[in-house]
Amino acid sequence: MDELSLYVLDITMNSVRAGATEITIILREDGEWLWFTVVDNGCGMSAEQVKKLTDPFFTTRKTRKVGLGVPFLTMLAEMTGGYVTVKSAPEELFPETHGTTIEAKFGKNHIDFIPLGDIVETVKTLIQGAPDVDFIFRHIFPTGKVELNCAELREMLGEGIPLSEPDILLWIGQYLSEQYDEVRHAG
């Protein structure tokens, strides 16, 4: 994968598949570092499963025997002088507060860092695939921030209009792109 935004898409898909109804994605850029955090209220994982996450030969899937999502992310983060941490509370043990938080840190100036790429496209893809999930997307720069809150959008649109409608996705794309333009001009 040659764009960081594809890693963001891939890792956030895990939260969708974990049955999360609320998923918060935060990107924060400051100086030479980029932090990427995903917080979900999905089914969570046991300590045993979390330990095995960086093992490429561990997956809960039945269709194949390898799971490369987290190993890819970890490799990229560590190559740039950063790290990946995963904290999880499985539903069986934490019926009220279950979920997973994954945080990655990347060195932006490192030669092995790859460009963020089209993050707006990643957000649109996530919403297209899971229009009922309350995604919060926030990208924080020293000069300002870009933000999208799906629960608020849904409230404004009322019932019966899924966020996956092409016209809505188009609007979301433009809404985010314009916020990025403003932040860049402010810088």
Which of 26, 75, 136, 169 binds other proteins (CB under 8 A)? It is 169
Within 122-151, the residues that bind other proteins by CB under 8 A are: 122, 124-125, 128-129
Asked whether position 161 contacts other proteins by CB under 8 A, the answer is yes
Minimum CB separation of residue 130 from other proteins in Å reads 8
In terms of phi and psi (left: phi > 0; alpha: psi -120 to 50; beta: otherwise), the region of 44 is: left
**Least spacing, CB of residue 136 vs other proteins, in Å:** 17
For residues 35 to 74, the per-residue mask of contacts with other proteins, x marking binding by CB under 8 A and - elsewhere, is --------------------------x-xx--xxx--x--
- Closest approach of Cβ 31 to other proteins, in Å? 29
Verify binding: residue 157, other proteins, rule CB under 8 A. yes
Contact call for residue 183 and other proteins (CB under 8 A): no
Residues making contact with other proteins (CB under 8 A): 1, 6, 9-10, 13, 17, 61, 63-64, 67-69, 72, 121-122, 124-125, 128-129, 153, 156-158, 160-161, 165-169, 171, 174-175, 178, 182
